Structure 1
Amino acid sequence: MTSGLVGRRGVLKAAAGASAGLAFAACSSGGSADAGGVSAPGFPVEVKGVEGTATIPRPPRRVVSVGQYRDADAAVALGVVPLITPDLGKFLPGGRSPWLTAEAGAHPPELFADAQLPFERIAALKPDLILGTDRPTLAQDYKTLSAIAPTVSSADGYNKDTWQVTTRRAGTALGRSPEADRLVADVEAQIKAAKAANPAFAGRTFTIGPVTGDGTITTISSVTDASAVFFAQLGLVLSPKVTSLPQTSIPGRSQISPERLDLIDADVLVLTYTTPGSRAQTEAQPLFQHLPAVRRGSYLALDLTTAIALAFPSALSVPYGLREVVPQLSGALKA
């Protein structure tokens, strides 16, 4: 996987050099020179979305991300570090994902509390582009944001765009469409390489889901869920025992009662725990201990950070997920 990441960085650096006339600079907390009235080939560009069309007159240099995960990921993957992005400290240590931190360099985005958008702070930064494709409440904030700067919303609705779509739309907005295409192709090649290197994954069943702080077990029951798609792209199959279960209020999720833990048994069983206590509670249950997957060592307790990488896929988080998950899967399926 490492060689794939090195290749991606090399591709982007070469592409950036070839398009030096556009003078894109990665935005840090200090920002870069204002684009002023300078025009560039290919601009203005329009990016249509569910909340409206963002018309971007010139290559953006001062970018703000208001989406939770994938907006900043897409921009950073394309070499543009947003000025600010939401603080994800309630999910991720330090408020930023490790995959974004690794790519953002010495000047990662500054953070803002995610409960309510800091409109005055955003306006004071004088952004020339706002990325909001990954914000669930964008509809109520779009008018205010778009009055500050062109604001890109999702193509099909919150959490409905694939990471490929998000990456390419960010590439259009940033004037980096060729780089976006190459980036998508590179990450897809990493997925295919991981699948080819692990033929034993083909056709093996899996279940995956979160366990809440009170010990409630939820399993993903839809093959279109992002985490299920991640495993399916490696050749695995979501267990038929869960795909027909009634869903909770969260689409694609089904609750498992303590008496029916047999439903989550599969060739590989993956659970993520929101608290250490919920893990201890689950693993202490006799019915859980007697699941065939648990008894033979085909059970993975996936850390929350990696689970987020799979659940909110991006051009940065997917390679991270491959590095973290594939070796664990290989060991579990050999058990």
Structure 2
Amino acid sequence: MAGSRRNTVTGARGRTARLGGIALAGLLAAALTGCGAAARDDDAPAAADGGGGAYPVTVATSQGEVTVESAPERVVALGFSSADELISLGVAPVKVAVDPDTLAENAPWLVDPLTEAAGGDLASVADPSLVTADGSPDLEAIATAAPDLIIAEVYQVPDRAAFDRLNAIAPTITPDTDAFNPDWDERLLSTAAAVDRTERARELIAELEEEFAAAGAEVPGIGDRTYQWVRADDNGYVFGNGSLFELFGMRPADNQDNTQTAAALSLENTGDLDADLLAVWAQTEERQAELEADPLFRELPSVRNGTVYFAGLDFANAINSPAPISLRWLRDELSPVVGALA
């Protein structure tokens, strides 16, 4: 722990999330944990160097304000979204709470950027021991990594006591919200403030919004096209937060529940999945086959028009906690089905 560091914590406030995934995806992402490849075009990610020399900096977090006294040199990311943000901002984390053996399955967009940030040795940075099976921080393992800054997920510090334990190891940054899935731009700006990369974060936000809008503009009348995003369970469909599709210029279907609080849609009401574009996470190949054989499902407008997208776990993880690299991966994944709306 750096002797010059001081952690200052005051009151917190919350906001609702705009971007997120289906709740189960978040739990899976936590359990399994843990834009172009790099945010800067002219160099590889490096340890945070303080940018304009703004330190000390005070960052508003979900549990109050935290002061980072000096430019961090050992940044630990407690999830692949936090790692995505850091790398996109040009900062190489020293440890990331991901399993190198399953990263390609769970977050394929991060494999190459994280390997590059690790100097070619992914295993030296990817460390699943930093979190427990449910995604909670393992304080002993994190302390062993000797961080001088920790970028955490909101759900990993659900209360002040949990936050204080982590913050005692090193200044701990989460977005200033109590939402389970904070807005992607809010998350990015929060991380950027701690590593003095706010200007770069704003540039990335503008770039990503322009890229999605450009893809959506290829479809005449995109603003009138509707979307739905659901997880298929044994007994029906659960709506997830599909606000990502609005970056393309689309609008939610009347029953699309981005708050993730509505009751599940029963199988007998499959016909209510009547959006122009339907993204569905079937979870298994068997369930997808069942859907594709279901007469009610086969009559959906999106199925008949070729604008249904069958998501995998990687997509569910990406939309659950999007960050610049995963957002560009999502854009590339979805552009063909969005383009098919034309």
Indicate the TM-score class for this superposition, using the shorter chain for normalisation: 0.7 to 0.9
Q: Distance in 2 between matches of 1:96 and 1:83?
A: 20
Counterpart for residue 85 of structure 1: 96
Q: Which runs of 4+ in 1 moved over 6 A?
A: none
Q: Distance in 1 between matches of 2:252 and 2:81?
A: 25
Q: Please say if residues 87 and 96 of structure 1, whose CA atoms lie closer than 8 Å, have aligned partners that are also in contact.
A: no
Per-residue deviation, 1:159: 2.9
Kindly report which structure 2 residues correspond to 1:154-303, keeping only aligned pairs within 5 A, or say none.
154-212=175-233, 214=234, 216-220=236-240, 225=241, 227=242, 229-240=243-254, 242-243=255-256, 251-303=260-312
Q: Distance in 2 between matches of 1:81 and 1:55?
A: 21
Aligned CA distance change for structure 1 residues 311 and 120 (closer, same or farther; 3 Å): closer
Q: Distance in 2 between matches of 1:285 and 1:264?
A: 13
Q: Which amino acid aligns with 1:287?
A: L
Q: Distance in 2 between matches of 1:95 and 1:134?
A: 24
Q: How many residues align?
A: 297
Counterpart for residue 64 of structure 1: 76
Per-residue deviation, 1:310: 2.3
Q: Which amino acid aligns with 1:42?
A: A
Q: Please say if residues 133 and 158 of structure 1, whose CA atoms lie closer than 8 Å, have aligned partners that are also in contact.
A: no
Aligned to 1:297, the other structure's residue is in SS state coil
Per-residue deviation, 1:75: 0.9
TM-score normalised to structure 1 length: 0.78
Aligned to 2:272, the other structure's residue is in SS state helix
TM-score normalised to structure 2 length: 0.76
Q: Distance in 2 between matches of 1:96 and 1:317?
A: 11
| 2:322 is aligned with 1:313 | yes
Task: Find 1:112's aligned residue among 121, 128, 143.
Answer: 128
- Larger CA deviation: 298-307 vs 316-325: 298-307
Q: Which amino acid aligns with 1:74?
A: E
Q: Please say if residues 107 and 317 of structure 2, whose CA atoms lie closer than 8 Å, have aligned partners that are also in contact.
A: no
- Larger CA deviation: 80-89 vs 117-126: 80-89
Q: Distance in 2 between matches of 1:175 and 1:117?
A: 25
Q: Please say if residues 136 and 158 of structure 1, whose CA atoms lie closer than 8 Å, have aligned partners that are also in contact.
A: no
Aligned to 1:79, the other structure's residue is in SS state coil
Aligned CA distance change for structure 1 residues 252 and 312 (closer, same or farther; 3 Å): farther
Q: Please say if residues 88 and 95 of structure 1, whose CA atoms lie closer than 8 Å, have aligned partners that are also in contact.
A: no
Gaps of 5+ in 1: 17-23, 28-34
Counterpart for residue 50 of structure 1: 62
Per-residue deviation, 1:236: 1.7
Q: Please say if residues 40 and 89 of structure 2, whose CA atoms lie closer than 8 Å, have aligned partners that are also in contact.
A: no
Per-residue deviation, 1:234: 1.2
Aligned to 2:336, the other structure's residue is in SS state helix
Per-residue deviation, 1:323: 0.8
**CA deviation string 1:267-300 (max 9, x = no partner):** 2222112111221222222222233332333322
Q: Which amino acid aligns with 1:98?
A: P
Counterpart for residue 19 of structure 1: none
Q: Distance in 1 between matches of 2:154 and 2:99?
A: 13
Aligned CA distance change for structure 1 residues 54 and 192 (closer, same or farther; 3 Å): same
Q: Distance in 1 between matches of 2:236 and 2:287?
A: 8
Counterpart for residue 40 of structure 2: 9
Q: Distance in 2 between matches of 1:127 and 1:219?
A: 38
Aligned CA distance change for structure 1 residues 304 and 173 (closer, same or farther; 3 Å): same
Gaps of 5+ in 2: 1-34
Kindly report which structure 2 residues correspond to 1:110-149, keeping only aligned pairs within 5 A, or say none.
110-113=126-129, 114=131, 115=133, 116-139=136-159, 140-149=161-170
Aligned to 1:197, the other structure's residue is in SS state coil
Q: Please say if residues 64 and 84 of structure 1, whose CA atoms lie closer than 8 Å, have aligned partners that are also in contact.
A: yes
Per-residue deviation, 1:43: 0.7
Q: Distance in 2 between matches of 1:110 and 1:93?
A: 9
Aligned CA distance change for structure 1 residues 317 and 40 (closer, same or farther; 3 Å): closer
- Larger CA deviation: 161-170 vs 191-200: 191-200
Q: What CA RMSD, in Å, does the superposition of the two structures yield over aligned residues?
A: 3.1
Q: Which amino acid aligns with 1:314?
A: A
Counterpart for residue 98 of structure 1: 108
Structure whose CA Rg is larger: 1
Per-residue deviation, 1:160: 4.9
Aligned CA distance change for structure 1 residues 170 and 135 (closer, same or farther; 3 Å): same
Aligned to 1:53, the other structure's residue is in SS state strand
Aligned to 1:135, the other structure's residue is in SS state helix
Aligned CA distance change for structure 1 residues 7 and 188 (closer, same or farther; 3 Å): farther
Q: Please say if residues 174 and 191 of structure 2, whose CA atoms lie closer than 8 Å, have aligned partners that are also in contact.
A: no
Q: Distance in 1 between matches of 2:221 and 2:284?
A: 32
